[in-house]
Structure 1
Amino acid sequence: MIKIIVNKDQSGRIHSFEMTGHADFAEHGKDLVCAGASAVSFGAVNAIISLTGKTPKIRQGSDGGYLSISLPQSPEDDHDIQLIVKAMIVSLQTIEHDYGQHIKIIFKK
């Protein structure tokens, strides 16, 4: 199962997220849940970099089963960064709605 932990501060600002595990929906290379979650999360990170010019702290596992993102704290770009990450979460929730036995989103404060 893919687990996504979204970390928020007391004000509700998302400051990081972490994805761990494998969906195990289908064999490697044909796993739609894994491909969808990966495309959405990497697309969001690429959008942050491309649209704001800010680069999050990125950590990845060598086997593809781990991604950790710490978002930059940039007062001038924070609204845009938060909007991109919230859009990512909506997309992941759509995947979770249809494939909940393979992907789980957890919010932590």
Structure 2
Amino acid sequence: MIRITINRTEYGLVHSFTMSGHADFAKHGQDIVCAGASAVSFGTVNAIEALTGVKAQVKQGNGGFLQCTFPENISNETQEKVQLLLEAMIVSLQGIEQEYGKHIKLTFKQ
């Protein structure tokens, strides 16, 4: 199962997210759940950098591990853009979870 934890600040802003595990929906290379979750998460991180100039601190590892932490000391205008993109990522991942809940799980922490 892919497990995704979204970490929010006390003000509700997305500060970081961690993704780990494998969906095991289908064989490697044919797993649409894994491909969807990867495309949404990596696409969001790439979009944030390309559209706002904000670079996330990214850690990758074995077992489908991805951890992204976003800086908090950015202008309000830039923060709004970053948050919009992150909230869009969450909506997309929740859509995948709704359809394939046995293979992907989102949790939220403050």
Q: TM-score, structure 1 length as denominator?
A: 0.96
- Show structure 2 runs of 5+ residues with no match: none
Rounded Cα–Cα distance in structure 1 between residues aligned with 2:46 and 2:85: 10
- Tell me the equivalent position of 1:67: 66
Structure 2 matches for 1:9-20, cutoff 5 A? 9-20=9-20
Rounded Cα–Cα distance in structure 2 between residues aligned with 1:36 and 1:60: 17
Amino acid of the structure 1 residue aligned with 2:66: L
- Show structure 1 runs of 5+ residues with no match: none
Equivalenced residue count is 108
Q: TM-score, structure 2 length as denominator?
A: 0.95
Rounded Cα–Cα distance in structure 2 between residues aligned with 1:22 and 1:71: 24
Percent of pairs identical after alignment?
A: 56
| 1:82 aligned onto 2:83 | yes
Rounded Cα–Cα distance in structure 2 between residues aligned with 1:64 and 1:34: 12
Moved over 3 A (4+): none
How much is the aligned-residue C-alpha RMSD, in angstroms? 0.9
Rounded Cα–Cα distance in structure 2 between residues aligned with 1:11 and 1:53: 23
The offset of 1:95, in angstroms, is: 0.2
The offset of 1:72, in angstroms, is: 1.9
